[in-house]
Structure 1
Amino acid sequence: MVILQLIQDFGNWFWGVPILILIGGGGLFLTCYLGFPQIRHFGYAMGQTFGQFFAKKEEGKVRPISGALAALACAVGASNIVGVPVAIALGGPGAVFWIWILAILGMCTKYCEVALGIKYRRRNEDGEWIGGPAYYLRGLGKKIGLVFGIGYAFFFMIELVPSLASQGVSAASQFNAFGANQTISGLVIAILVGVILAGGFKRVSSVTDILVPTMAVLYVAGALIIIFANVTEIPKVFILIFKDAFTGHAAVGGFTGATVMAAIRWGAARGVYSNEAGVGSTVAGHCTAETDHPIRQAQFGIFEVFVDTIIICSITAFAVLASGVWTQKGLDSSQLALAAFSSVFGSFGSIFIAVTVFLFVFSTIISAGFFGQVQAEILFGLKFSKVWVFVYPIFIAIACAFSNVTTMYMILDGFMAIIVILNMIGVIFMVKEVKELQNEYYSTPGKYYLADIAAKETRKANK
């Protein structure tokens, strides 16, 4: 218990000021060093990503959008629905502003992670691409790179045990709204997860290709109905967000007041938990894609953070703030999203939230489970990884049966802090390589970016 307490204390300390310095400051440095690529080339990035949804699949190849959707499935989770209201409750409406700031910086961080992931990825024994921080961190140097790479893979692989177990409980608990037994629900979820993960990335991507767009559209549509029902409040919401970001917020409803520092702290933490920029956890999904250049797939890193945080998290925040439920007394922060949906949909709101939270969490479980399998393969080989992958559904079933995930949460933040530290230090010191790739991609005559622009101009001229 002493070790667990130390890990918990370390996690509590790290997810305060240190996370702002490392991820916020690190993201700002990367953005400035690379010349604000997520802003200068935002339109191009969106054209390269959203435009790929209907691209044809090639037999035996993973589409760039499929790799991105698997990564997005891992990033989009309960934090988008529950985490944002928690940030508002503890940091005030101003926390939303800092979520946006960390997301804008996070787009560049994720851009760098994906570019490095593609550059350093390798083919495994089955001929499939695998990669991620565990590989690209080795670019730091023979000795320190090996320590960072192995350390990242080990702690990430272990961190996913409590992470996926706790998320399994969250997914199973959604069926409580229908009177289902949580133990049985957990067992069914564990079996589904095991079956999907046993099929490797092709099976995972076949599920996330359908699940991610479906759940995102479903949730966004429901939240937009709430926003339109309170459309006259939207100007006030924007003023509240920007004003409180720099002045703090007085106590309201059942919630205590929040300082500017609280707004920054909770906005930063929830933002990182939501899009995982700086964590490096979703890079393995991008590394499975067939692409002609690391920077082309890096556009999907920008896309991933934009969809996860700027779109989905913002819509949750607007729904909670515009509906006014955040000022009501007697509501816990975790109930705010449910209260917002119930304010418009009535009793159906609880069912809607239960279904969407389940879809969000389930998609996270299967994609993160695959990423854990990749870490196991990097450390101990392909055969071991195919056995290790079943550890995750086993712990999901156990956690759902006993419903006690306190210990798991105790070690989750601490382990996640370790992998963030390893990854961010590596990305910052390797940013020169990203700049070289960026210069090559945007400046090579007749190839990559310039070829895309020329093709676009040709299509315009032929219309």
Structure 2
Amino acid sequence: MMEWLTSINNFVWGPCMLVLLFGTGLYLTVGLRFFTFRNFGRGLRHAWAGRFIRSDKGEISPFNALMTALAADIGTGNIVGVATAIFIGGPGALFWMWMTALVGMATKFCEILLAVHFREKTPAGNWVGGAMFFIKNGLGPRWMWLGSAFALFGIVACIGTGAMVQGNAIGGVLEASFSVPPFATAGVILVLSAAVLLGGVKRIAAVAGKVVPLMAVLYVFMAIIVIVMNIDQVPAVFGMVIRDAFSPAAATGGFAGATIMMAIRMGMARGIFSNEAGLGTAPMAHAAAATNSPLTQASIGMLDTFIDTIVVCSMTAFAILVTGEWTSGVQGAALTTGAFEHALPGFGAMMVGICLSLFAFTTATSWCVYGERCAIYFFGDKAQWPFRIVYCLAIPTGILTQLDLVWLIADTCNALMAIPNLIAILMLSPVIFKLVKEHEASFRAECDKDE
């Protein structure tokens, strides 16, 4: 069964999926006439102004919606995924992570635009949206099976990837770094998870709005210290990243070398895994934002792809490369930990462990929003509390169990979420281009007024 599932996983995350994700982002970037680049500054200003609720259409502030999505994005992929990409694909993988993020901003912009435009308000007052809702309301009843497939894959992926795998990461890090017994970690995490998750999307967003900026700044600040301590290596490393993106990376030390295709594949795969552009997750958080303008919220939402990959992932990559640890022969979390410990002996490894635990916990709490929205799509508001309880129990369960099978199933469903989402985005792209064209003038006027 494991071999069969592995074959399916390798196929759904294979070259065809990467081409579909990257190609969709490139098509949307050009179709929007590079709107995501032209209006990047306006998106930043709206994100800052969106710290407060200014509309009765939504449950959480636009800023907290961004933080909730960022909490789900900034996770183990930023520490473990980046290290794996460099270990297998070489320094050139970072360049392809950047390219994936730049076109991925357009994909995320479009999926959030559709999610807010086609969102619904449930009888209990929940504002729900995402691929399943813009498929139902945008493509019509005959395509509802596609939305149902997305929601089904989403529930499995959320409980597996969002809860159990993240819980397992927390338990592993705390045991390895601080010798905390898994049972103790499971008990504490159960209490903390229940305190956050049982409060619903408003409490999750409120916690994310406070914790995510702090943890991201802490991690980036640490990485900057490591980079500054090795500042003389930065020009050479930057040149190596560009060179190895277009030529084979030679073997050196414990690094076995990498082909151009391996750099491209690992860079794209790890970049998408980290920023989730095209997977259809973030729109479910942004659909709950208190905003009257889908265009404004989409412009805020696209920032999380930039922050996650261009900023946070780059910090990890440069810390690994400037310290020379990428040739040590170790991979995954051990590679990132080794880089920070190399520059900050006796302190770096501990801080990576703390950051990884925080990243995993906030990822777990934010993914609960996604799974809950998928459950509401099938069963209505009555699904909220049962799902939250099951999700709370799944996190400590992940700490105490081996998750090879769970990870494989969840990771496969994660990829399968992207297929209905991307199909719907491409089919609704004329609607997207029309909405942007109609509202771009008012969006600019609103930004100018804020200035």
Query: TM-score, length-normalised on structure 1?
Result: 0.93
Correspondence for 1:52 among 49, 52, 56 = 49
Contact 1:19 1:269 in 2 (8 A): no
Contact 1:5 1:410 in 2 (8 A): no
In 2: Cα distance, 1:79 partner to 1:306 partner:
15
* Match in the other structure for 1:460: none
Contact 2:76 2:356 in 1 (8 A): yes
- 1:36-80 deviations in whole A, cap 9, x for unaligned? 11112222222222x337557889952110111111111110100
Contact 1:140 1:429 in 2 (8 A): no
* Match in the other structure for 2:439: 441
- Compute the displacement of 1:5 (Å): 4.1
* Match in the other structure for 1:194: 194
In 2: Cα distance, 1:193 partner to 1:145 partner:
36
In 1: Cα distance, 2:347 partner to 2:188 partner:
24
Contact 1:139 1:145 in 2 (8 A): no
- Compute the displacement of 1:125 (Å): 2.1
| Counterpart amino acid of residue 444 in structure 2 | Y
* Match in the other structure for 2:117: 119
Contact 1:107 1:305 in 2 (8 A): yes
Contact 2:12 2:416 in 1 (8 A): no
| Counterpart amino acid of residue 88 in structure 2 | L
Instruction: Classify the secondary structure of the residue corresponding to 1:389.
Output: helix
TM-aligned CA distance change 1:249 to 1:9, over 3 Å: same
* Match in the other structure for 2:148: 150
RMSD of the TM alignment (CA)?
1.8
Contact 1:107 1:306 in 2 (8 A): yes
What does residue range 275-424 of structure 1 map to in structure 2 within 5 Å?
275-329=275-329, 331-402=330-401, 404-424=402-422
In 2: Cα distance, 1:84 partner to 1:123 partner:
38
What's the % identity of the aligned pairs? 34
Correspondence for 1:6 among 4, 7, 19 = 4
Contact 1:156 1:415 in 2 (8 A): yes
Q: Does 1:452 align with 2:426?
A: no
TM-aligned CA distance change 1:7 to 1:138, over 3 Å: farther
Instruction: Number of aligned residue pairs: give it.
Output: 448
Contact 2:96 2:264 in 1 (8 A): yes
Instruction: Classify the secondary structure of the residue corresponding to 1:72.
Output: helix
TM-aligned CA distance change 1:30 to 1:8, over 3 Å: same
What does residue range 101-116 of structure 1 map to in structure 2 within 5 Å?
101-116=99-114
* Match in the other structure for 2:157: 159
Contact 2:80 2:336 in 1 (8 A): yes
| Counterpart amino acid of residue 357 in structure 1 | L
* Match in the other structure for 1:265: 265
- 1:202-254 deviations in whole A, cap 9, x for unaligned? 11111101110010011000000000001111111110000000002011221
**More moved, 167-176 vs 187-196:** 187-196
| Counterpart amino acid of residue 344 in structure 1 | A
* Match in the other structure for 1:79: 77
- Compute the displacement of 1:405 (Å): 0.7
TM-aligned CA distance change 1:103 to 1:387, over 3 Å: same
- Compute the displacement of 1:454 (Å): 5.1
Instruction: Classify the secondary structure of the residue corresponding to 1:390.
Output: helix
In 1: Cα distance, 2:206 partner to 2:226 partner:
32
In 2: Cα distance, 1:139 partner to 1:120 partner:
6
Contact 1:139 1:430 in 2 (8 A): no
TM-aligned CA distance change 1:92 to 1:429, over 3 Å: same
- Compute the displacement of 1:126 (Å): 2.1
* Match in the other structure for 1:91: 89
- Compute the displacement of 1:14 (Å): 2.3
TM-aligned CA distance change 1:429 to 1:56, over 3 Å: closer
TM-aligned CA distance change 1:183 to 1:431, over 3 Å: same
- Compute the displacement of 1:431 (Å): 1.1
- Compute the displacement of 1:153 (Å): 0.7
| Counterpart amino acid of residue 302 in structure 1 | M
- Compute the displacement of 1:341 (Å): 0.8
In 2: Cα distance, 1:197 partner to 1:389 partner:
7
What does residue range 198-217 of structure 1 map to in structure 2 within 5 Å?
198-217=198-217
- 1:411-431 deviations in whole A, cap 9, x for unaligned? 122211211111111111111
TM-aligned CA distance change 1:435 to 1:407, over 3 Å: same
In 2: Cα distance, 1:392 partner to 1:62 partner:
21
Contact 1:323 1:340 in 2 (8 A): yes
**More moved, 267-276 vs 14-23:** 14-23
| Counterpart amino acid of residue 310 in structure 1 | I
- 1:125-158 deviations in whole A, cap 9, x for unaligned? 2213111111012245334420111111111011
In 1: Cα distance, 2:22 partner to 2:206 partner:
34
In 1: Cα distance, 2:292 partner to 2:53 partner:
16
| Counterpart amino acid of residue 332 in structure 1 | Q
* Match in the other structure for 2:229: 229
**More moved, 220-229 vs 157-166:** 157-166
5+ long unaligned stretches in structure 2: none
Instruction: Classify the secondary structure of the residue corresponding to 1:296.
Output: helix
| Counterpart amino acid of residue 336 in structure 1 | L
* Match in the other structure for 2:248: 248
In 2: Cα distance, 1:58 partner to 1:294 partner:
12
In 2: Cα distance, 1:140 partner to 1:118 partner:
12
In 2: Cα distance, 1:251 partner to 1:120 partner:
51
- Compute the displacement of 1:194 (Å): 2.5
* Match in the other structure for 1:179: 179
- Compute the displacement of 1:174 (Å): 2.1
- Compute the displacement of 1:435 (Å): 1.1
- Compute the displacement of 1:434 (Å): 1.1
| Counterpart amino acid of residue 165 in structure 2 | S
In 2: Cα distance, 1:240 partner to 1:46 partner:
31
TM-aligned CA distance change 1:67 to 1:259, over 3 Å: same
Contact 2:59 2:202 in 1 (8 A): no
- 1:177-206 deviations in whole A, cap 9, x for unaligned? 222111220232133212311111111111
